[in-house]
Homo-oligomer: A and B are copies of this chain.
Amino acid sequence: MKTYSISEAANELNLTAYALRYYDKEGLIPFVERTASGTRRFKEADLDALKIIECIKSTGMPIKEIKHFIDWCLEGDATLQQRYEMFVERKARVEAQMEEMKKTLEIIEHKCSYYKTALEAGTEDIHKNPKLEFPQY
């Protein structure tokens, strides 16, 4: 069965070896096994688990909270409810973030056309409302 050294694993996951050791220190990857002399050996399943961790992290969950999830996983079926609720909550969070991002995109697009027009005119003045004494950026 193929395994990966810490820097190979880091490479696969687009992380650094430092970051993986930090995750280990924080208790995110208790499942990663070691050789007799203490070197970490990452299995494919470990990389898959780390991909899930990265996914959860990208939703904005801090590492300390992700650790709770890992602890639940280690506790087994007794924590299925908590884990389910966590993902339901993450889903809501991501959906809200996407809504926010849509609004952000609209504003940014508006600014793109604002500056495109200004650039064509050679001056921002064409957008200036004489009633406003200050540029709106």
Interface, chain A (partner B; CB < 8 A): 31, 43, 45-46, 48-49, 52, 55, 58-59, 69-70, 73, 76-77, 80-81, 83-84, 87-88, 90-91, 94-95, 97-98, 100-102, 104-105, 107-109, 111-112, 115-116, 118-119, 122-125, 132-137
Contact = CB atoms under 8 A, between A and B. Distances in A.
Nearest to A70: B137
A105 B101 contact: no
B115 A59 contact: no
Count the copies.
Answer: 2
A136 B49 contact: yes
A124 B48 contact: no
A108 B45 contact: no
B105 A88 contact: no
Given A49-B136, A81-B119, A134-B43, A94 B104 contact: yes
A105 to B, nearest CB: 5
Contact of A108 (B87, B115, B124): B87
